[in-house]
Amino acid sequence: MSDDYDVVVVGAGPAGYPAAIRAGQNKLKVACVDEWQNTDGSYAFGGTCLNAGCIPSKALLESSELFQRAKDEFATHGIKVGEVTLDLGAMQKRRASVVKTMTNGINALFKANGVVGIQGHGKLLPGNKVLVKAADGTEKTLEAKNVILASGSTPIRLRSVPHDGKFIVDSWNALEFDTVPKRLGVIGAGVIGLELGSVWRRLGSDVVVLEALEQFLPMVDQTIAKEAQRHFKRQGLDIKLGAKVLSAAVSGNAVDVTYSDAQGEHSLQVDKLVVAVGRRPFTEGLLAEGTGVQLDERGFIKVDEHCGTSVPNVWAIGDVVRGPMLAHKGKEEGVMVADLIAGHYGEVNYKVIPSVIYTQPEIAWVGQTEEQVKASGRPYKTGSFPFAASGRARAMEAGAGMAKIVSAKDDDEVLGIHVIGPMAGELIAEAVLAMEYSASTEDIQRTIHAHPTLSEAIHEAALAVDKKAIDSINR
Ligand code: FAD
Ligand code: NAD
C-alpha cells in the first residue's frame, strides 16, 4: 500500500509535531510518524520533551519545591501546617497525569490541523519515501514531496558506568523513581544533573554530583554561575568539580563508584546513580542505504542554516541537528521548515535562543556572557540589580539572585541578559524580545515596568549599566 503526502515528518517531539501542525496550517497534506513508547507500554506523541524531559521534570520540580517550601518557608509567612509529609506515589501520579494531558493534546492538535498521526517506526528510503513499520509489524510506504527528519536525541552512556535502568540510570528512569533514594549520585553537573539533583535533594536524598570539569556551568555568565554554586551548596547539593568517574558497579542494592580528583582517588556508595553527561543525536534505523543524507563527525544530520540536508527536499530539525538541544529551538526550526516548504518566509535567529535552568533560584539567559564579550574584544559595560532590593521578590520571600545586562560601549546594543532569581525563565522573555529587536540599553531604560514586579529587576539592571539605577546603589 502506498500513500502520497506533501510532507512526512519522522518524529513527533517538540521539533517534529510543530512542523507537522504548521504544514497542516499551510494546507499541505501531512503525516507525522512516531515510535515513542512509554514505560507502561502506551504509545504517545510528544517525544522526549513531553514524555521524559521538559514536562515531567518541571512537574516534579514544582511539586518538590512546594514540598520544601511547606516544610521550611510557610512558618516565615505565619502559616502553621503541622508535620509536612511526602506522598511520593501521589506526586508521581500527578506528574504522569500532567504528561498524559499534554501528549493527548497533540492528538487533538493534529486532528484540528489535518495532520495524519501515525504510530510506528519511520525509515527514509532513497527517493523521498518513508517506510513505516507499525508495532504489530505491518509495513507501508509513504511517498512524500518533502521529508522532515526530527528523530531527536538519546542520553550518552559511559562505558565504565554500565546502565541497568534500576540502580545505574538515565534521566528518564530518575523521573520515575518510586521511592526517594537515601543516597543519590549524579554524574554531570549540567542542566539535567542540577534539575534532577534538586528534585531529589528537596524530597530528602543526600545528593553528590560528580562533574568532570573544574569550572561550574561554563556556558553560563560566571557572575551568575558563582551565585548559583553558592545557593546549591547551601541547599545541600554536594557538587564535586574536577571529579573524573573511573568506575561504577552495582553491589547488592547499592552502587559503588570510584572517581579521582586533584586530591587523588575516592570511593563513594550510593543507592541510585544517575548518568547525565549529555545527549547525542539519535539516527538509529532512520536512514536506509543510499538516501544520501550525510551525518557530521559527531553523528548530527548535516544541515544548512535553513535545515536543508544534503538531499533536496529532505530536511532535519531539532536535537538531531547542530545547535543547542532545546525544545524551543527545535520548534522554531520545525515552523521555519514547514513555512519554507509552503513557499513562505522562514528563518530562525540562532543568536537569541534563551536558555533556562529550572533550579531554585532559577537561571536564565540570552545572548553573550560577559566572558564571551570580553574575549571578542568589543568594549562593553555591565549593570546588575539584586533581587534583594526588589519589593516584589522580598514579598515572595525570594530575594536571592540578580539580573545582569552586558551592553556594547560603542552603540549601547544589548549583547546579553542574565538572570538568576525568582521566575527567571519568565523574565527572560522580555530580554529575548529586546534582543530580537536589537534593543539598546536605553530602550529598556525608557520602557515602563509595572511596580512592584520582578521585571523591574531587568529595568533597574539596564539603568545600572549607565550608573542610573534608582533602587540600588550604583557602583
Ligand atoms: P525528541 O523530543 O527526542 O523527539 C524525537 C521523537 O522522534 C521521539 O518521539 C522518538 O521516539 C521519535 N523517533 C526517533 N526516531 C524515529 C523513527 N525512526 N521513526 C519514528 N519515530 C522516531 N529542553 C527545553 O527546552 N526545556 C526543558 O526544560 C528541557 N528539559 C529537559 C529535561 C530532560 C530530563 C531531558 C532529557 C531533556 C530536556 N530538554 C529540555 C531537552 C528537550 O527535551 C529536547 O531538546 C527536545 O525534546 C528535542 O526535541 P526533538 O523533537 O528534536 O526530539
Ligand atoms: P549537559 O551538556 O547540560 O551537561 C553534562 C555535564 O556532564 C557537563 O557539565 C559535562 O562537563 C559533564 N560530563 C560529561 N562527561 C562527564 C564524565 N565522564 N564525568 C563527569 N561529568 C561529565 O547535558 P545534560 O545535563 O545531560 O542535558 C542534555 C541536554 O538536555 C542538554 O543539551 C540540555 O540542553 C537539555 N536539557 C535542557 C534543559 C532545560 O532547558 N532546562 C533541561 C534538561 C536538559
* Torsion angles phi and psi, residue 386, rounded to 5: -80, 140
Q: CA-to-CA distance for 28 and 213, rounded, in angstroms?
A: 48
> Given ligand 1 and candidates 54, 131, 139, 147, which is best to mutate, with the most ligand atoms within 8 Å of its CB?
54
Summarised one tens digit per residue, pLDDT across range 302-348 is 999 999 999 999 999 999 999 999 999 999 999 999 999 999 999 99
Q: Calculate the CA dihedral of residues 197, 199, 205, 207 and round it to 10 degrees.
A: 10
Percentage of residues in the chain with pLDDT exceeding 70? 100
User: Which residue has the least CA distance to atom 28 on ligand 1?
Assistant: 54
| Per-residue pLDDT tens over the stretch 49-67 | 999 999 999 999 999 999 9
- pLDDT score at 475: 86
CB atoms within 10 A of CB 384: 21
Q: Minimum-distance ligand to the CA of 35? A: 1
The helix/strand/coil state of 351 is: helix
How far apart are the C-alpha atoms of 245 and 256, rounded to whole Å?
11
140-164: buried (b, 16+ CB within 10 Å) or exposed (e) per residue?
eebebebbbbbbbbbbeebeebebe
Q: Separation of 13 CA from ligand 1 center, angstroms?
A: 5
The residue assigned the cell 522573555 is 429
Say what percent of the chain tops pLDDT 90: 98
Ligand lying closest to the C-alpha of residue 160? 2
Contact 80, 111 (CB under 8 A): no
For residue 191, the CA-to-ligand 2 centroid distance in Å is 5
On the question of pLDDT at 191 being above 80, the answer is: yes
Atom of ligand 2 nearest to the CA of 319: 32
Q: Does 285 sit in the ligand 1 pocket, CB within 6 Å?
A: yes
Around ligand 2, the residues with Cβ closer than 6 Å are 158, 187-193, 195, 210-213, 245, 276-279, 324-326, 356-358
**Is 330 near ligand 1, meaning CB less than 6 Å away?**
yes
For residue 451, the CA-to-ligand 2 centroid distance in Å is 37
Residues with active-site annotation? 451
pLDDT tens for residues 130-184? 999 998 899 999 999 999 999 999 999 999 999 999 999 999 999 999 999 999 9
Confidence of residue 2 (pLDDT cuts 50, 70, 90): low
CA of 106 to the centre of ligand 1 (A): 14
> Whole-number mean pLDDT of the chain?
97
pLDDT classification of 1: cutoffs 50, 70, 90:
very low
Mean pLDDT over 354-382 rounds to 98
| Ligand 1 neighbourhood includes 48 CB (under 6 angstroms) | yes
Q: Is the CB of 152 under 6 A from ligand 1?
A: yes
Please give the backbone phi and psi of residue 372, each rounded to the nearest 5 degrees, phi first: -70, -40
Give the H or E element holding residue 436: helix 424-436
Q: Ligand 2, closest atom to CA 327? A: 40
pLDDT, tens digit (0-9, with 9 covering 90-100), for 415-459: 999 999 999 999 999 999 999 999 999 999 999 999 999 999 999
